[in-house]
Structure 1
């Protein structure tokens, strides 16, 4: 088998559980005008969204068009103003908005028609007056005129479209109950739609500057910390929206608009290709089960080879699996620790390990806390451990140095003088 064939089969195997997991789930995708302007990127994205629809995902698209509208204004020598990063939309601007957004929508629909034909799938894109708008109004003496905000979303109509196997499309234009036309901020609209539809995911394409210095994954608490420290205005606006909406949207994915294929990596690979903002628990810490043995072996074998951990055979792990806790992300074991009872009052912490790819996320501390809680639940008063490399970390977490002679007698005979492990203990 050629390497390309091996890569394909391995990637398909890795994607398989995600395909099952995402089927019949609703996702909202925000496409900025800059991405749509790049015809090659738009065509690639259209192919990927046709694929998502074919895999059973329900897709809502919200289109941005700021880039194209700015170009149109510049070509016509029409000035415009912004206030607090929001465009003031005059009556004169509306005609340009309607024409430009009509062109953008036509480009998107054309890209999807081509992508559908190439995959021999008839996919329909549907849009409608699903969003009721109202004026943004006069704020601090500034009249925003035809710049609007969301008033109401007809989520039942959108859901009917999705249940029919169609892609729902929303643009920056929305209408009031009196028939007026308003320009909406489509990024804000994407968050509102995802919230109203109780979407499983909101996927946002944005520029590299907005993504700068963001880690691979952020909890709600992390988002608030970044929001307080960030000096990047576009990043702060995005994180503020995420903070306000994240309790309603399980996962928000931030991806570079320079790489439209990042969406498939975010959805169907373990580590993705962007920044994940999660509301639900990103990882699962739980008691180990017998079918976790292979995952634990994969995790600890490199550490055993480096001499950091004592070697354990598969048979030993199978017999002692009830002593272990594991951390799992998307069916991969990325952390483990074990609690071995010594007697009624003493126990040993052993085999604490975290995958290198996930270090720096306080997972080791989470495992340690869970082991200590487990020990306390068993009325253990003293926790012992042996380590050759990480004694400073354990000292920072409340352990003190001891000696082999202070180990309980039943453990002293097992002390390996060749390893010269440091003995640490902690009173619970």
Structure 2
């Protein structure tokens, strides 16, 4: 939980301080890269860390991730320009790419199937608390101290998390020689980097039809195709292809993609929607969205009782059904919105997501042994990251096409219609999650130990 808080708080604390940072460092046109580069380096590093964790153990990978996150935080705090801050955020992202999946993998190692839901619920509660604590700290540091403390506050948190891992995590790893798949790692990193970069910046930094956009997508397709060919022959592939050949693992990875799209769609547009159409303050709109992160840990904690009785597949279908119903309600509410109604929809969506995300991940983890659990967990988290990146691109393109160059503040009704279109797309993705849940194998036995 302590290690997870590093990533959770960092994902929310920066947003409220962006105006202050821009006023100090300049580079307003470049500030979106503070988020894009972090997401990019985090996503591409997850599969590599996950493979290393199955090879050398979770503890050294987790400590390396905390160390990188600490280094990135210190460098960010001393950044002298926007380009420097963006570069140092990349270092933070590399650390986060190890910390987040390792925390979930370690929980899968040390808890039984019956206990994992409660453990996942505790870690989900960290994200819920961070959704309130992060923006508050960001505002306090920016207004009463300096924005640099947004990063310096990570120093004691990293040291405490590292100390707790060193002191309390004990694992035995069979030492043997390994051949590192350097070529596969490079191909995957560069290929996925180009793909996510094109999806994040297409239609924003450059047009979809521009040479750089088309070139990035073509190069990504070529590199990832070569990567698949290399992995077929690699002795110890960085991302074994069997992960995508097993029905349970592939279906839960597809569910992860859907979770990523739904989350990014709601977190990106619900606050702006409420502020633009209803004149809600950033605090009120943020708290309305926080209803989602409140429902999630509640359902995730209780999901163990459900899947032990009904099975993983049925639990996922119940949760995805709730998400479909609540997102449909949100599309209707958006035509004559109220803060209370939107908050209620977000809360129910959070309940549904808690019954989808944690049980599907635990189902994947419980189907493999220790030596494969890191790769399986990392693949699921990687799928969620890719879903977020694709979701940002597709949903952003939908909104921009509807606005047609107009500003949301100047044309609030048009923006409202555009966001309603986003909610319809989220409904479609929720239905896709139901279909992926139906594809999960029937009759998977769930044992308490």
TM-score > 0.5 by shorter chain:
no
Higher relative contact order (CA 8 A, sep 6+): 2
Structure with the larger helix share: 2
TM-score by length of 2: 0.24
Structure with the larger strand share: 1
| Structure possessing the higher radius of gyration over alpha carbons | 1
